[in-house]
Amino acid sequence: MIFVPLPFVVALLLAILLVRMLRQNDWAEQEKRPFLLVIAAYTLQSILIGIRWGYDVIEILPAQSVVASLIAALAWISFRNLATDGPASLLRFWPHILPSVSIVALLVFWRDPIGPILTVIFLAYGAALLWLGRQGPDALVSSRLDGALLSYRSLLITGVALIASAAADIAISLDLEQSGGLHAGAIVALGNVITLLILGTAASIASGSQSIVTTASEPPAPPVPNQEDDAIAGALENLMQSRQIYRDPDLNLGRIARKMNLPARRVSIAVNRVHGVSVSQYVNDYRIRAACETLVNTDDPVTRLMFDCGFISKSNFNREFLRVAGTNPSEFRRRSRHKPEAAGTRPTLFVSR
């Protein structure tokens, strides 16, 4: 029987995910390109792990080290790019190629410190991702608002995974010193496979190629709004009602801020203080309100009204609908049609915060 290492199976799954994203023409969108590159790096690393631990080819170790350093940098670049407002060349991230260059140099001149340096690289980029996420979903100003929460959670998952990988390397090093690391190889292979699969899934979610069903946690009580916050929130409310910008499927915090001639962070703070939610939740509330009105007053298919209201992902639409309305669109329509007062009325699910 032909032996196929588990990392090869993971590499195949990641490759299928990559092909799917390419077929969706994700490369044409600036903010998705880094995620395509990082998933390609995950795929390559999984293949290298399979060769190393499946067939005991130790000559592959130098390539593993270089790709590992590249993975950490690409993961950071991918999410940092989502936190940058407006189109920009990926060349601005060129300094983040230096960790990989340093690993290549060490492979040539001095290999002893490569392990500790890789650990430091993973710790640094993991901590940087968690620091980036301290502002919440609104930190990702270029992420489409229907999936901003998922992108944010993917950021946190990636940051934690990088730090956990570094911690595992430290633990394995200690095990090697104390017991000779009898099972270190299997631990490294299995741990890397699981990490790569998690990171690949997180990257695809953050890029907007797919989604998962989840519920939003209750946010902490925001600070008391001031007059400036009220003015910004009022201007945004007027923009949403008069121009219905929430129907734009590519809407993100950066676009909203440019329409208001304000910094994205200032808009985010005002919405959070006045309404107690993130900008993505605020906009998606409008979208679900419009969807409910259409469900009650028309016979339009759910898929059509989903697009009309600004969603492009059915899973994101269903998730947000469940969060706001407490049920799915079909059940909401059925219940509303059985109420005598439903026709021609505005849904009462939504109240001002």
Asked, for residue 216, whether it belongs to a domain, the answer is no
Same domain, 198 and 279: no
pLDDT score recorded for residue 141 = 84
| Helix ranges, the chain (H) | 6-23, 33-49, 55, 61-82, 98-109, 114-132, 148-179, 184-206, 227-243, 253-260, 264-275, 279-297, 302-308, 314-325, 329-337
Range of the domain at 13: 6-206
Alpha carbon of 122 to those of 31, 115, 172, 204: distances in Å? Answer: 23, 11, 15, 20
| Domain contains 221 | no
DSSP 14-74: HHHHHHHHHHTTGGGSGGGHHHHHHHHHHHHHHHHHIIIIIH--GGGHHHHHHHHHHHHHH
Q: What confidence tens digit (pLDDT) does each residue in 251-299 have?
A: 888 899 999 999 988 999 999 999 988 898 999 999 999 999 999 888 8
* pLDDT-based confidence at residue 216 (cuts at 50, 70, 90): very low
Is residue 212 over pLDDT 50?
no
265 in the same domain as 144: no
Residue 271's nearest CA partner among 300, 242, 330, 228 is 228
- Residue 353 inside a domain? The answer is no
Average pLDDT over residues 25-38: 72
Q: Specify whether 113 is located in the same domain as 13.
A: yes
Average of per-residue pLDDT across 68-87: 84
- Per-residue pLDDT reduced to its tens digit, 134-153: 888 888 888 888 778 778 88
The residue with greater pLDDT, 170 or 251, is 251
Residue 18 sits in the same domain as residue 91: yes
In a domain, 345, yes or no: no
Instruction: Check whether residue 198 and residue 284 sit in a common domain.
Output: no
**Structural domain contains residue 74:** yes
Give the pLDDT score at 218: 44
Q: Are residues 160 and 275 in the same domain?
A: no
Assess if residue 214 is contained within a domain.
no
Question: pLDDT band at 238, cuts 50/70/90?
Answer: very high
Q: What whole-number distance in Å separates Cα of residue 219 and Cα of residue 333?
A: 29
Residue 242's CATH number:
1.10.10.60
Query: Rounded CA gap, 200 and 17, in Å?
Result: 8
- Do residue 252 and residue 131 come from a single domain? no
CB 315 within 8 A of CB 238: no
- CATH number of the structural domain spanning residue 50: 1.20.1070
pLDDT reading at 347 higher than 50: no
Residue 186 within a domain:
yes
SS3 141: coil
The answer on 143 and 109 residing in a single domain is yes
Residue with tokens 């998922």: 150
pTM to 2 decimal places? 0.75
